């Protein structure tokens, strides 16, 4: 059975072994939804007994009437998120003709701090030995590298549709031709609360890494201050937990799934 075999694959063959890295719900639907991301896609801080029912991927799969495969790891980088397509290629052909992959991308910089059994020197080299006209081009260079890997990985797989979404960082620093939602999860939360928030940030916790590359340090400090405003917003939000990570609660997962679903319907 597909649900058992894919979960067994991730438990025993994945280079980052975790019992809860992968979850698959099969109800013999003809179509499959794959959601890939980090803690916001994993469902961190939700009630452990209800997490797999409340997390946005579960809600979205029900709205789309698809079987559901969730691949997510707390603290994962965008590189790791896209790399999961390599793991799916290693697994083999998925038993569906209609597959939709929804990525929930995260902040830039995690690529340089996580450790899951790999080291891609090309990713580091893509930022080195270059001159940048502005700070934006630094973050765009990193994201462009990740997008190039996404394109390469997709070429190795059976046909599937993709959609890029974003948690608490802006789409401004992403330049590509893949379908992408214009609002991130923070923007949507602000809309629900009728609050204005500037979420045009590339990262929250990794500015120190980019100091050696960004030509405008004052501009980088401005971005960092804007990130602190986003954190303060999440701390005050009734749709986010008050724990250190400020993860979305079940109500937030519900309206994020609604938003993604409605956007998908409009794109058809």
Per-residue H/E/C for 40-85: HHHCCCCCCCCHHHHCHHHHHHHHHCCEEEEEECCCCCHHHHHHHH
Closest CA to 94 of 85, 83, 103, 81: 85
161 Cβ partners below 8 Å, 6+ apart?
99, 100, 101, 179
- Tens digits of residue pLDDT in 172-204: 999 999 999 999 999 999 999 999 999 999 999
Q: Which pLDDT band holds residue 15 (cuts at 50, 70, 90)?
A: low
- Tens digits of residue pLDDT in 126-159: 888 888 999 999 999 999 999 999 999 999 999 9
pTM (two decimals): 0.96
pLDDT at 17: 64
The label of the residue with tokens 């190039």 reads 148
- Tens digits of residue pLDDT in 209-261: 999 999 999 999 999 999 999 999 999 999 999 987 899 999 999 999 999 99
Strands in the chain per DSSP E: 22-25, 31-37, 67-72, 98-105, 161-166
Express as a percent the part of the chain with pLDDT over 90.
85
Helix (H, G, I), strand (E, B) or coil at 248: strand
- Please give the radius of gyration of the chain, using alpha carbons only, rounded to the nearest integer: 18
CA atoms within 13 A on the CB side of 161: 14
Question: Domain residues of the chain, as ranges?
Answer: 2-267
Topology of the domain covering 2-267? Rossmann fold (3.40.50)
The predicted model gives 59-63 an average pLDDT of 98
């Amino acid at each position: 059975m597909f649900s058992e075999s894919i979960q067994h694959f991730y438990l025993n063959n994945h280079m980052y072994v975790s019992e809860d890295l992968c979850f698959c719900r099969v109800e013999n639907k003809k179509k499959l939804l794959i959601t890939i991301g980090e803690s916001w896609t994993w469902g961190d801080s939700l009630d452990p007994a209800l997490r797999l029912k409340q997390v946005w991927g579960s809600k979205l799969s029900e709205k789309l009437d698809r079987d559901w495969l969730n691949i997510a790891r707390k603290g994962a980088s965008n590189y790791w998120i896209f790399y999961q397509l390599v793991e799916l290629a290693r697994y083999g052909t998925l038993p569906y003709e209609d597959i939709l992959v929804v990525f929930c991308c995260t902040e830039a910089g995690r690529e340089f701090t996580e450790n899951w059994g790999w080291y891609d020197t090309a990713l580091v080299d893509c930022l080195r030995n270059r001159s940048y006209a502005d700070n934006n081009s630094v973050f765009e260079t990193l994201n462009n590298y990740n997008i190039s890997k996404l394109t390469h990985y997709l070429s190795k797989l059976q046909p599937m549709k993709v959609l890029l979404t974003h948690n608490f960082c802006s789409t401004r620093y992403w330049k590509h031709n893949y379908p992408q939602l214009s609002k991130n999860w923070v923007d949507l939360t602000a809309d629900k609360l009728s609050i204005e928030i500037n979420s045009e940030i590339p990262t929250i916790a990794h500015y120190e890494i980019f100091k050696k590359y960004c030509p405008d340090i004052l501009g980088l400090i401005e971005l960092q201050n804007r990130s602190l405003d986003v954190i303060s917003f999440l701390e005050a939000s009734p749709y986010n937990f008050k724990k250190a990570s400020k993860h979305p609660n079940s109500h937030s997962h519900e309206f994020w799934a609604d938003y993604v679903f409605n956007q998908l319907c409009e794109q058809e």
